[in-house]
Structure 1
Amino acid sequence: MNWKQLLSAKRWGYESRHTDDQHEARSEFQRDYDRLIFSSPFRRLQNKTQVFPLPGSVFVHNRLTHSLEVASVGRSLGRIFYNEMRRSFPMIDSELPYLQEVGNIVSAACLSHDLGNPAFGHSGEAAISSYFTDGDGRAFKERVSPEEWADLTHFEGNANALRILTHGFTGKDAHGFALTYSTLGAIVKYPCAAIDGHDGRVHHRKKYGFFQPERPTFEKIARELGLLSESGRQLGYKRHPLVYLVEAADDICYNIIDLEDAHRLGILTYEQVEDLLLPICGGDPLKARLETLGDSDSRISLLRAKAINTLIVACAQAFMQHQDAILSGRFEKPLMEALARELVDGMRAIEQVSVEKIYNAQSVVQIEVAGYKVMNGLLEEFIPSYLKEGKTKYDRKLLALMPKQFHTDQPGTYGKVRSVLDFVSGMTDLYAVELYRKIKGISFPSLD
């Protein structure tokens, strides 16, 4: 792979349109970022769970604040990489004029990396999948292809993000968000179909990156950007190199920020958080400064800032160091595992505590259990009604609750099921709960 082809300002669906940034206030890649910021799917992230239940009196991160922070870190990673390239190759701007936009490309991809995640965090993905593996959805297995069944039984937020950004929903732009090819390529962490994913031996096959309807879409993106194909796969590619920076930005943020939220909620003590973050920040030199701060929140804010800065610099350097292996498709692990031993050990310690203390905290488990009930309940209602040939009055009333954009005239079972999944996966936590309660007769709409 080469940067000249990997960095493309062509827009999905508008490939023939000429792009000239010279006299524009924003570059094409900055336009990508702005389109995402002002979009409805992005705004809905403010009411989607990150890890902890949405805040009452104590603020914790939601998907929107997390995505903004990841985008900020991603921009820094891209900018550091560009500065290092310019330092090593002074004429790089004339040879690769779009390289200076790497920070903007990465930040836009970071902004959209969770766009396809359903309500209730990762448990929402599992809940949708369980409808087909353990619930009424098992009846559809014989009515879809093996590739389509793999999609349904492993709902994947990463693949859903690509669909949201490129699919022409009814009444909407036929080309989705019409983002640049480079931004689209940078969001696909696992460039394969579901039937070829979930391979724990290969990092970029751990999950999958596109549903069957978006298979031609990603194949076109891969050809345009010159992604390396893999032999022995129905449709598999090596990652776009900038995916590694997007992934690193996400890894940095959720590992560090989850500790800060856990402290705010009283799950971890200040001493526990300090013991985890101080080694990443350089240890003793920071101790004296921490002692000058009067409250634990301020101390943790300083630790968080120093830890994130340390990891940004280290990951950008690792990306530069392993650039040749990444471009040739030989780099088979996340950047976080290519850092200095003390940083790798420090991050593993954080992951261990996060699993033991944070992700199994009572409030987190409660929202996961509730998410299963709500998501499964919605699918149990909408999918049979949508698929039924002779619809009852109830079916028609129920389906009137689905916005027009999610209706399809496709004749097959998979296409209709996918339309319902588009509707349900786009819901916020609060909307999903309210709709579930109303259609189950648990509560009634307000007459105000």
Structure 2
Amino acid sequence: MHKVLALFLALGAVVVQVHAVDTHVIDTLEAAKLGSFKSLVDLSGATAAFQSEDARITILAPTDEAVAAFLTEMGLTMDDLKADENLVDKIVAYHTVLGITAGPAELFANSKTVLVPTASAPFKVQVTETADGVTVTDFQGNVANIVSPDLGRNNHRVHAIDKVLFSGGYWTDLSKLIGFLPDKFSTVAKAAEAAGLASTLTAQSFASTIFLPTNEAFEKSGVQLDAPAATIAEILRYHVVDGDRTIPEDFTAGAAVTTLEGQDITVTFVDTEPVAGIPAQKAIVTDAVGGQVEVVQPNIHISKGVSHVIDGVLMPKMDGAAPAAEPADTTTTSKGNIFQIFQALWPFKRDGMRVTINFADGSAGRKLLQNSRAVDYTSALSLAASEQAILSAVNSNSLYGTANAARQGQGNAQLATQFPTNPTWANGINQFASYGTGGN
């Protein structure tokens, strides 16, 4: 612990310099010359919310060099981000921790490895004290170093990091997502290989929308992977639409949308059970033969494109076609809740203090957060109005999050009126915080 504190003290000159001008987190980002991340905050439309002096907020802010490296890795430019607020929201939210003013003493009071919730529920980060400093491990298992810690004062802290963190909401290419969750998406990879389209899984140059069937979707569709390659290719192309279209913003309910295969699909929206008292919807896709599938996880960004996970296979009209998918359940008791969907697709399981990822065959997946020493930094949280405003702002362009960010977190302690404050630290400012089970 003393080594980490020594690192913080060694940077004292930086801290003092920033303190001279920082009344809120935006001031600190500017004073610390973290301009690229500040630009992302601006693009997300959250700048005004971040300027609150009352909000307890901790930012893991990538350096300008880290943001440039991220854009290269994703195959993107800043102009691409300017045109995609949904992706920008996800990036900013995953680097934002609300309700916590977290420096080293608070983070490592109980453990050298802690799991911290972000504003991109249910995704967390793992923060670890090492002999050389502090590291941050993201959802996909990438490790960043905190290079300039503990910037800011009063209710906010900024820790500069040397990499952009990846949540489960954005990936460099489709093969990364499939490789991370083979029990969910390995069949579509096999189908692409059978159709001679395997190279598309690692492509970054296309701005397309992919409706991505799960393994179970293929099983119930009757599609056989030993069918002629041209047949499988036709089916796969029927799942691709030109342009990166997020749900619901870029679809007009009931309007025909032409696929890469040439035939149309339609997307409609069905009201579901309210989340935290806020009306919610789910998206239903109807194919050329009348089959309906449900979008069980929308808006997963893949480089310049976007994917929407569906629970069935879309079928074009074709000779000898596989059976159409059964009509989707349009009742309000269906699995349309975005929080439940994330838990289903990223099935973390707690075993004492151990966090693992379970796959259908019982084997462990990626080693993310499988550290027996890791403990939750958080266990109960109440967000003040200024913090709720930030949460809403960084989720404003997400599915069903436009009215209120509470739609993202049923069961999450996001609303001060519903979840009382539970201070852990003597000053009552720093608290244990929890976003429900948060998928963990």
TM bracket (short chain): under 0.3
Using the size of structure 2 for normalisation, the TM-score is: 0.27
Which fold has the larger relative contact order, with Cα–Cα distance below 8 Å and residues 6 or more apart in sequence? Answer: 1
The structure with more helix, counted as a fraction of residues: 1
